Amino acid sequence: MDNNSINILKEGDITAFNTAYRLYHKQIYSFILHKTQSEFIASEVVQLTFIRLWEKKNKLNDEVELQLQLFGMARQVMIDELRKEATRYKYNNQFNQYPYTDSLMKMIESKDLLKHFEREVEAMPTMRKMVFNLSRKNGFSYNEISEMLGISPKTVESHISKALTTLKQYMLTVLL
């Protein structure tokens, strides 16, 4: 779509919106499917991306190609959805994460230890926390994370290493 079409879309023209959807929805779907390997997430991200496009149409930059703006939105929506999925997974499986114990006291200690662990993860710098969660909670590889976040695999490795070092040091102080 050219700059004129972006301006028409900014004015709320539904035909311009439908044209944008028709031109780019398959490309965005393929991009997200490649990144997540999930048809469900890819479909959700496409829909949410175009909802966001409509809601933020007034903020479109008519000097930047719409395709680039849409892929940027889709990338951000994908990250948001992965965060939501991680949170849902965490809470849905919360009780399955605790080791089986015969005593209530050990279960309480396990819950307390998990709270300490989660608090320490939450205190990490934003990027480190995001990389750690994508790797350890969502199971993404370093290369997949680097592609999703637009950083090098070495940077991902560095974030994971620093996160694990921090957690090991913290857990030693809690356990001692």
Question: Residue 153 falls within a domain, yes or no?
Answer: yes
Q: Which residues contact 162 (CB under 8 A, 6 or more apart)?
A: 128
Domain boundary among 58, 85, 112: 85
Residue 100's pLDDT is what?
Answer: 47
Tell me what the mean pLDDT of segment 37-55 comes to.
92
Q: What single-letter DSSP state applies at residue 134?
A: I
Residue 109's pLDDT is what?
Answer: 59
User: Does residue 112 sit in the same domain as residue 156?
Assistant: yes
CA 110 to the chain's CA centroid: 28
Instruction: Extract the tokens encoding 50.
Output: 């175009």
Secondary structure class of 28 (helix, strand, coil): helix
Tell me the residue range of the domain where 160 lies. Answer: 100-175
Identity at 87, one-letter amino acid code: T
Question: Residue 91 falls within a domain, yes or no?
Answer: no
Total number of domains constituting the chain:
2
Residue 8's pLDDT is what?
Answer: 92
Residue 101's pLDDT is what?
Answer: 46
How far is the C-alpha of 42 from the C-alpha of 19, rounded, in Å? 20
Domain boundary among 27, 58, 85: 85
Q: Is the pLDDT of residue 84 over 60?
A: yes
Domain boundary among 29, 56, 85: 85
**Average predicted confidence (pLDDT) for the chain:** 84
- Among 12-21, 64-73, 87-96, the minimum mean pLDDT is found in 87-96
Question: Residue 140 falls within a domain, yes or no?
Answer: yes
Question: Residue 25 falls within a domain, yes or no?
Answer: yes
How far is the C-alpha of 2 from the C-alpha of 149, rounded, in Å? 28
CATH number of residue 113's parent domain = 1.10.10.10
User: Does residue 76 sit in the same domain as residue 141?
Assistant: no
User: Does residue 77 sit in the same domain as residue 104?
Assistant: no
User: Does residue 8 sit in the same domain as residue 80?
Assistant: yes
Residue 114's pLDDT is what?
Answer: 77
CATH number of residue 41's parent domain = 1.10.1740.10
